[in-house]
Amino acid sequence: MTVSAGSKRLKVLFFSQRFPFPMDTGGKIRTGKILEQLNNVFDITLVSNVESPKDDKYLDQVRNVCAEFHPVPWKEAKKYTFKFYLKLFRSLFSPYPFTVLNDYSRDVEAALRHLTSEKHFDLLVCDFLQPSLNFRRLNGAPTLLFEHNIESVIPRRHFETSPNPIAKIFWWLQWRRMEHYEKEACRTFTGTVTVSETDRKCLKEFGIENVFAIPTGVDTDYFAPREDQVKKNSLVFTGSMDWLPNEDAIQFFIRDILPRVKQQMPDVTLTVVGRNPSRRLLKEIKSHPEVTITGRVDDVRAYISSHTLYIIPLRIGGGTRIKAYEAMAMGKAVISTQVGVEGLPVRHGEQLIIADEPEQFASCIVRLFGDAAARAKLESGARSLVQRHFGWKAVAESFADICAHVVQLGPGERCQI
């Protein structure tokens, strides 16, 4: 790495509200893989919420990502429960977006303030925008916000795509609150890291200074082509199903795209691989025997490898989708919406197929099912691109250089969120 903030090893406090293990979401994978590399060059103190006993079995893996770990116990309110809806209702009377309030914790804020008062840090890093409210009273060191998404884009796209008028009102309110919060919060940090040039330009348009971009990465040794038997006319999607954009993507596909494919390919199947699918999604697929939802699996590679095509029918989201690079690294032919590969330097027809309209998406599936040569061309182009340019080591080097640069900028003046 080309880190050069003097000759000393930087002391970095890294706050990841979500415990990085297991690395079973895009955000946790990105955070965990970058921390694995940063731990070789920085003195990392990691602070995370830990939900016992669920997270306890992963505690021995923490030594791979930090020199010192400070867990903060917590219990997350599960979605669609009474407690969850009560928090949602109370958030309507707050100026903050619901997800920001949900990630605030007095215990976390107290732990961060105690650590920063007892120990000198060269840099304070907040992972994701939503828990940044916990940083509002920290002073004395430069601060860096790691934006995995432009968060205000997500509720805006929910607002634009929701057919329900009540839901539209809710998402409009969350969009406006998140946009205001995102602008103000980013201004309180010395620097901000985004995961694509597209996101960096968006924050610059917000008037945010000191914005830096890193590429999205993938472990190309782990996600490599396999010799698994491929099921004919089969589709696969991977992603955390408790993330609303992923759930929306599958609902959109089942309702608007899959019936068009079935008209020409009656034996088509779809396998959805991801943790915590909602009851409403499980209820919806009961009328679709060709759709299987696995829930959480320990290893997604066998599922990606054993299906004909990998699909990303996302309509909502921000940042970049690690799932796209994982499938491409395994040499799979990918069909995605533009949103699904937003911010990734990929080309339609060379590394994957991009289709936004349901009729177009379905037509591309049918065509590639019947054209092995076209699939092989996409598979080769996809694997070649990510293998040459997007390993995690290079991504972490970029992040480390940004950290060193932000340290040199100094803490500056911080306003309250």
- Residue 282: pLDDT above 70? yes
- Residue 198: pLDDT above 70? yes
Does 415 fall in a domain?
Answer: no
- 384 & 328 share domain: yes
Does 223 fall in a domain?
Answer: no
Does 225 fall in a domain?
Answer: no
The pair of structure tokens assigned to 31 is 């955070």
pLDDT per residue as tens digits for the range 68-112: 999 999 887 777 777 888 888 888 888 999 999 999 999 999 999
Domain count, the chain: 2
**Contact predicate 39/72, CB 8 Å:** no
Please list the residues that pair with 48 across neighbouring strands: 71
**Contact predicate 353/334, CB 8 Å:** yes
Does 326 fall in a domain?
Answer: yes
- 57 & 157 share domain: yes
- 87 & 205 share domain: yes
Average pLDDT over residues 345-358: 96
- 211 & 264 share domain: no
Does 24 fall in a domain?
Answer: yes
- 373 & 399 share domain: no
- 106 & 148 share domain: yes
Q: Which domain holds residue 279?
A: 231-389
Does 417 fall in a domain?
Answer: no
Q: What angle do CA 187, 315, 332 make, to 5 degrees?
A: 110
Predicted model pTM: 0.81
- 69 & 155 share domain: yes
Q: Model confidence at 5, in pLDDT bands (50, 70, 90)?
A: very low
- 186 & 241 share domain: no
pLDDT per residue as tens digits for the range 151-191: 999 999 999 999 999 999 999 999 999 999 999 999 999 99
Does 260 fall in a domain?
Answer: yes
Does 414 fall in a domain?
Answer: no
- 185 & 298 share domain: no
- 280 & 352 share domain: yes
pLDDT (0 to 100) of residue 96: 94
* Distance of alpha carbon 87 from alpha carbon 319, whole angstroms: 26
- 347 & 403 share domain: no
**Contact predicate 154/162, CB 8 Å:** no
pLDDT per residue as tens digits for the range 386-404: 988 888 998 999 999 999 9
Instruction: Spell out the residues 6+ positions from residue 11 whose beta carbon is closer than 8 angstroms to its own.
Output: 42, 43, 45, 119, 120, 121, 122, 123
Average pLDDT over residues 110-134: 96
- 167 & 274 share domain: no
| CATH number for the domain that contains residue 127 | 3.40.50.2000
